[in-house]
Amino acid sequence: MTQFKYSKRVPADGTDAVGAILQAAADPKIISFAGGLPAPELFPVKEMKAAVDKVFDEHGQEAMQYGAAKGVTALREVIQQHVKEKEDVDSELDNVLVTTGSEQALDLVGKAFVDPGDTVLVEQPTYLCALDVFRSYGANFVGVEMDEEGMKMDALEEALKANPDTKLVYTVPNFQNPTGRTMTAERRKKLAELAEKYDVYVLEDNPYGEIRFAGEHVPAVKSFDKSGHVFYMSTFSKTLAPGFRLGWLVADKDVVNKLTVLKQSADLHTDNLAQFAVAQFFADNDVDAHVKEISDLYGKRKNLMLEGIKKYFPAGVKYTDPEGGMFLWVEVPGVDDTVELFKDCLKHNVAFVPGDPFFAGEPQPGAFRLNYSNMQEDQIEAGLKRLGEALTAAVNNK
Ligand SMILES: Cc1ncc(COP(=O)(O)O)c(C=O)c1O
């Protein structure tokens, strides 16, 4: 068999641990809280079809032609207005880059700023695909402790002092994947100040911020940024549909120009038809009402999750109570191998994502992520009953 000589960027073990978990959880017998998908029943299929039809009628040739690497102007204008309205972030058109999913924004920032050995500070735990991206550029990760109010700023400052080669601080401040936690406004302000003080960049990743079903809006880290050290990224994946692969980055013009060059090497530009269609969708629809419908449904599902957890989980199990987004985080004391716990749960025909791959360093034993956005209401209680039985058995066997 040929031994392929891959670059150092390719993970040595070549395994996709999370893929294997999702595969195992895909058995129809299993009620799976493992996925991370939006509810497809709320995709605006009819309205989007009308938008696509209109694009073909009015801009068909342009939408099918090659386009600009920075993105379609009409969509960049929508984004510019959107970040002002939702996050009080001022920008000019040249601050806005459309990306192929916000995943590409992660990749471009990694490519542009992380040399092998550079330190990237991440929340402990954090979005696992961001770890994969920065790892592929040779990042040295340092995890920063979190609590219910998000990343701890005293811990961050210590990490910045201890790691003078830090390039980037990565944060998901709203309804974080995987914990569902939200960073307070006070910490966000401090984060922007620390970035300037230590001359490091903050990558603020906000896919979930608009899906708020409780509590009050918290201003973006970027809204406190006076020096250009904060790069803000978001996506239409959770509010419209992930299949369009449309995300964006708002940053200093110089950064946007450099990332545009890198994006050109990656894919020339993001799908033109999708960009035209989403710009048209915004022009013709009440997007806020649509997002409210999503938030209301997820809020209802989250409440059912908490009811089930309270009813069926053994005493002592901790869990977060998110005010938005798609995930909550569970910590089971006394369990030291979460992957074994996952296997036990599969025997009870229920699944979650073990916490381990969300940690840059030592994982927290007994922690896992539950998704509720794509879980039908009647399945929630049944699934949590099974999970409660599996957890009770695991805790009692210790
Ligand atoms: C925290 C976070 N960032 C980025 C992404 C990537 O989203 P997309 O590429 O669909 O915009 C996700 C997807 O789940 C996510 O949870």
> 207: Cβ below 6 Å to ligand 1?
yes
| Nearest ligand 1 atom, CA 246 | 11
Q: Is 302 in contact with 328 (CB distance < 8 Å)?
A: yes
Q: What was the pLDDT predicted at 177?
A: 97
Q: What was the pLDDT predicted at 396?
A: 85
> 127: Cβ below 6 Å to ligand 1?
yes
Spacing, Cα 131 to ligand 1 middle (Å): 12
Which CATH fold topology does 17-43+289-396 show?
Aspartate Aminotransferase, domain 1 (3.90.1150)
Q: What was the pLDDT predicted at 330?
A: 97
| Nearest ligand 1 atom, CA 100 | 9
* Residue pLDDT, tens place only, 335-372: 889 989 999 999 999 999 999 999 998 999 999 999 99
* Length of the chain counted residue by residue: 398
Each domain of the chain, given as residue ranges in start order, spans: 17-43+289-396, 61-284
* Residue pLDDT, tens place only, 84-110: 999 999 999 999 999 999 999 999 999
Cα 245 to the chain's mean position, in Å? Answer: 14
Spacing, Cα 103 to ligand 1 middle (Å): 6
Among protein residues, the one with the nearest Cα to ligand 1's atom 14 is 36
Q: What was the pLDDT predicted at 75?
A: 98
CA pair distance 107, 113, nearest whole angstrom: 10
**What are 195's two structure tokens?**
């970035």
**Domain spanning 61-284, CATH architecture:** 3-Layer(aba) Sandwich (3.40)
CA pair distance 131, 281, nearest whole angstrom: 33
Mutate to test the pocket of ligand 1, among 43, 108, 203, 205 (most ligand atoms within 8 A of CB): 205
CA pair distance 294, 374, nearest whole angstrom: 11
> 123: Cβ below 6 Å to ligand 1?
no
> 102: Cβ below 6 Å to ligand 1?
yes
Quote the longest CA-to-CA distance of the chain: 66
17-43+289-396 and 61-284: same fold?
A: no
**What are 231's two structure tokens?**
């790069």
Q: Give the CA distances from residue 111 to residues 48, 128, 257, 262, in Å, rounded to whole numbers and listed in that order.
A: 33, 17, 14, 8
Q: What was the pLDDT predicted at 8?
A: 85
339 CB contacts (<8 Å, ≥6 apart)?
354, 356
For the chain, which ranges sit under pLDDT 70?
A: 14-15, 398
> 101: Cβ below 6 Å to ligand 1?
yes
Mutate to test the pocket of ligand 1, among 104, 177, 182 (most ligand atoms within 8 A of CB): 177
Q: What was the pLDDT predicted at 27?
A: 86
